[in-house]
Structure 1
């Protein structure tokens, strides 16, 4: 068994570890842990307390994936509901679809009885007001919100360094591998922007035969590189979890233009090994892990790797089954 989460998962990993220890299914344990993070207003990038978009609205994204069935559920741009991860799980279990966004996601959340919540916490409200007062022109203030937002999207600076998500990866007692994510996305984002969190294969992927991966940071990069699915496929080719993550980092070196920023890749394999790499990360980047031999979850430092835009790949992989030696 193992539970792996990013730095933002601190408030939920203890619950997830306890449930796994008690023999609960991985998806139940992951959902319970993420719900605690969504409730933690000290986490400024997830749930209530998350940063708003350019219009001052908090839009939430979340996903879950069951690695034994390869079923997924995800929601994007969900407004006004407390636990998007639970709505995402309901999508997986109650609908023939995999992803709902915007008004459709909110309608479904209402149908399932999901708890409503005022998402814009006071600290976020004040930060948005300061930004609006200092950055928006007098003419645009008079016409707001019926103004072009493109310039403000490019000029906006996230009020904190972090542009994170919370991600949970778990291997339960029955050897099922699962993944879950939840985020309020990039602060001051263009309304309707989806990061990688609800995009299965980019921000997360789980396959009980091989392992799972989930990413935090600039989702634009992992969407372009298909990072989470790539890591799992590299493990399918026979690579260790460390080598698989290294190859996914190498894939990012081909990205040119757009947002080339910070990404952290979290991965586990099907036997409980793990590896976490912070691409263009800063000192202090860390994650949390728990295995049955630990009395409590432990904080670990991420491996730091630097890449630059368009840097040449160090190697190419033949499209054949690869076995580490």
Structure 2
């Protein structure tokens, strides 16, 4: 039966980004069986974290400048406004579940680095080798070709600033995974997971674990989550802004427009791509790719659908300038041996 958006009946909806393809069927199946929003999102994101075809999330994600894979994740319950966020985590395969346990078991909202790893160990979270052969080979090729001999000799204690400025994500157009949904009780939730910007400065956090920047959920109004250049959404508080604009009475369409307008004020720093995914509390949604690419898309599921469907993202250009950080020729490093 198709969902009713005009009354108080149960509304089910899932929106996730392009990288969520493998996980959204799991989330949809669970929601259709009456699972809670948080349970369904966590399960779907875990599938993406294990997906060998996704190289920007979980196991197999791209490493930082030192060759280490650092993972970030978050969850938010829109009915309690409780959150769990994990940043710069090494050696654990399902950061979204660690973030969920943080929400459930700690009075805190955010753990990073050694503290996040300590908590993950304490709860018995799954461990594993995150750096897979394809990423290790790509990193080694980059190191051999781009790092000055004197810095190679001093590695890993060499200066990294210049290399950070000359390196961007090896797969342009690939992203964090973000999931938004509303369950049968009209509870709204969000979840994110990422390995972050490939070849990033060690310890860098993007927007994915930053509640209010990369994701935000409030069951009274709606939810929003972002992919792309997290530096932009951190500076504009994009996810919280979209929900706040809806709280002010704007439609989800107008709320996203206002958040895009906020980005037009950004000067300097990294100005690149951001995709904004948003749902409201009536089952409406909108996905906009700021400075997006023609193939940017997202996934949508409603109970009226036989299976989740890929939809093209609406593309809005806010800058004609080149991104501040230009990609180097990664094809030479990422091609199969």
**CA distance in structure 2 between the aligned counterparts of 1:169 and 1:156, rounded to whole angstroms:** 31
1:113 aligned onto 2:124: yes
1:60 aligned onto 2:71: yes
**CA distance in structure 2 between the aligned counterparts of 1:272 and 1:299, rounded to whole angstroms:** 17
- Picking from 78, 83, 91, the partner of 1:72 is 83
CA shift at 1:160, angstroms? 1.3
Asked whether the 8 Å contact 2:177–2:192 carries over to 1, the reply is yes
* 1:239-285 CA distance string (max 9 Å, x none): 11011000000000000010010000000000111000000001010
**CA distance in structure 2 between the aligned counterparts of 1:21 and 1:171, rounded to whole angstroms:** 11
Asked whether the 8 Å contact 2:168–2:200 carries over to 1, the reply is no
Aligned counterpart, 2:213: 202
- Picking from 171, 174, 178, the partner of 2:182 is 171
Aligned counterpart, 1:214: 225
**CA distance in structure 2 between the aligned counterparts of 1:228 and 1:159, rounded to whole angstroms:** 26
CA shift at 1:163, angstroms? 5.0
Aligned counterpart, 1:122: 133
CA shift at 1:25, angstroms? 0.3
1:26 aligned onto 2:33: no
Asked whether the 8 Å contact 1:163–1:186 carries over to 2, the reply is no
1:253 aligned onto 2:253: no
RMSD, aligned α-carbons: 0.9
- Picking from 257, 267, 271, the partner of 2:278 is 267
**CA distance in structure 2 between the aligned counterparts of 1:65 and 1:137, rounded to whole angstroms:** 43
* 1:75-108 CA distance string (max 9 Å, x none): 0000000100000011111000000000000000
**CA distance in structure 2 between the aligned counterparts of 1:66 and 1:24, rounded to whole angstroms:** 14
CA shift at 1:159, angstroms? 1.5
Q: Secondary structure at the match of 1:146?
A: coil
Aligned counterpart, 2:51: 40
Asked whether the 8 Å contact 1:163–1:187 carries over to 2, the reply is no
**CA distance in structure 2 between the aligned counterparts of 1:198 and 1:158, rounded to whole angstroms:** 18
CA shift at 1:157, angstroms? 3.2
Aligned counterpart, 1:321: none
1:152 aligned onto 2:163: yes
* Mapping for residues 270-281 of structure 1, pairs under 5 Å: 270-281=281-292
**CA distance in structure 2 between the aligned counterparts of 1:22 and 1:204, rounded to whole angstroms:** 25
Aligned counterpart, 2:331: none
Q: Secondary structure at the match of 1:11?
A: coil
Aligned counterpart, 2:152: 141
**CA distance in structure 1 between the aligned counterparts of 2:92 and 2:196, rounded to whole angstroms:** 15
Higher mean alpha-carbon deviation, 150-159 vs 268-277, is at: 150-159
- Picking from 79, 88, 103, the partner of 2:114 is 103
- Picking from 289, 293, 297, the partner of 1:286 is 297
Gaps spanning 5+ residues in structure 2: where?
A: 1-11, 322-337
Asked whether the 8 Å contact 1:260–1:309 carries over to 2, the reply is no
Aligned counterpart, 1:308: 319
Gaps spanning 5+ residues in structure 1: where?
A: 311-325
Moved over 3 A (4+): none
CA shift at 1:162, angstroms? 2.7
Asked whether the 8 Å contact 2:19–2:174 carries over to 1, the reply is no
Asked whether the 8 Å contact 1:211–1:270 carries over to 2, the reply is yes
**CA distance in structure 2 between the aligned counterparts of 1:180 and 1:252, rounded to whole angstroms:** 23
Asked whether the 8 Å contact 2:299–2:311 carries over to 1, the reply is yes
CA shift at 1:147, angstroms? 0.7
Aligned counterpart, 1:224: 235
CA shift at 1:164, angstroms? 1.4
1:296 aligned onto 2:307: yes
